[in-house]
Amino acid sequence: MPWLALTVELDGADPAALSEVLSEALLEQGAQSVSIDGVDAPRPSLTALLGADADPAALLAAAAHASGLAEPPRFALSRVEDQDWVRRSREQFAPFSIGARLWVGPSWHEAPRGVPAALRLDPGLAFGTGSHPSTRLALRFLERTLRGGESVLDYGCGSGILAIAAAKLGAAQVDAIDIDPQALEAAAANARANRVAVRVGAPEALPAARYDVVVSNILAQPLILLAPLLASRTAPGGRIALSGILEAQAAEVAQAYAGWFDVTTAAEEGWALLEGLRR
């Protein structure tokens, strides 16, 4: 099946930050992958891979609105064949380790011997392969925090990478929630491929429970709106980790959660993770 490659050039006061925010918004709107070329250049180029039946103009308009743009940027379209997409994906997705316990890589790489938790995730319709700094920050939090037996909620699970990592690291119960049916299908398939038990569902299927650990890797504004919900789902003494946040947005998100959590911040490549302890 052929794909559509939507390419835009960005400028403005801070094009690098805009490219990161817009790329996340495009993924939220259904893009299968997003790559950024020349992130430090005056006009970075952003390319999103879309399904052949997608409406590129509508998808870009929705992503631009979510990113705070007054109007969507101009774009160009090209056709990408399946074999080209697979080749490009394999070239871009290298395996990596998180701490001493977690390894993430595609199926065509062998995991190192002695790694307790090896997570396999192929690019494609994956909604996140761990290559983005925000996902790595969240994975690092899980590797550092989980010791076995915890209950974990991954809210906005996408590919399920965080939920699967939690299960691999010994969590006793893992729930993965997303509003996108295609993301839920991908998360369930990835959990099966990794032979872990993850309960996948839409927000309305979320059980009335509190969790030892809550993680959410989405975007700053949705995280602010979700603060009461995610706080109510975190058990007293439990931990929360929020990512998908630019460093410049961290203070605003932290303020939204300050009524329930004592919050600290970690950062990587301009992205922040907020970690909180439930009072």
The answer to whether residue 123 is domain-embedded is no
Q: Within this chain, do residues 144 and 246 fall inside the same structural domain, yes or no?
A: yes
Distance CA 120, CA 68 (A): 35
The answer to whether residue 18 is domain-embedded is yes
The stretch 20-45 carries a mean pLDDT of 79
The answer to whether residue 113 is domain-embedded is no
Q: Within this chain, do residues 28 and 143 fall inside the same structural domain, yes or no?
A: no
The answer to whether residue 118 is domain-embedded is no
Q: How confident is the model at residue 125 (pLDDT cuts 50, 70, 90)?
A: very low
| pLDDT digit string, tens, across residues 164-185 | 999 999 999 999 999 988 889 8
The answer to whether residue 52 is domain-embedded is yes
Phi-psi region of 128 (alpha: psi -120 to 50; beta: other; left: phi over 0): left
Q: Out of 14-23, 81-90, 223-232, which region has the weakest mean confidence (pLDDT)?
A: 81-90
Q: Within this chain, do residues 160 and 54 fall inside the same structural domain, yes or no?
A: no
Distance CA 93, CA 210 (A): 35
Range of the domain at 212: 132-278
Contact 250, 268 (CB under 8 A): no
Q: Within this chain, do residues 74 and 163 fall inside the same structural domain, yes or no?
A: no
Domains contained in the chain, number? 2
What is the model's pTM? 0.76
Query: What pLDDT is attached to residue 126?
Result: 43
CATH, residue 72: 3.30.70
In the predicted structure, residue 236 carries a pLDDT above the cut 80? yes
The answer to whether residue 98 is domain-embedded is no
Q: Within this chain, do residues 57 and 159 fall inside the same structural domain, yes or no?
A: no
Tell me whether residue 268 is exposed, middle or buried, using C-beta atoms within 10 angstroms of its C-beta: 0 to 12, 13 to 18, 19 or more: middle
The stretch 59-69 carries a mean pLDDT of 91
Distance CA 208, CA 259 (A): 21
Query: What pLDDT is attached to residue 27?
Result: 81
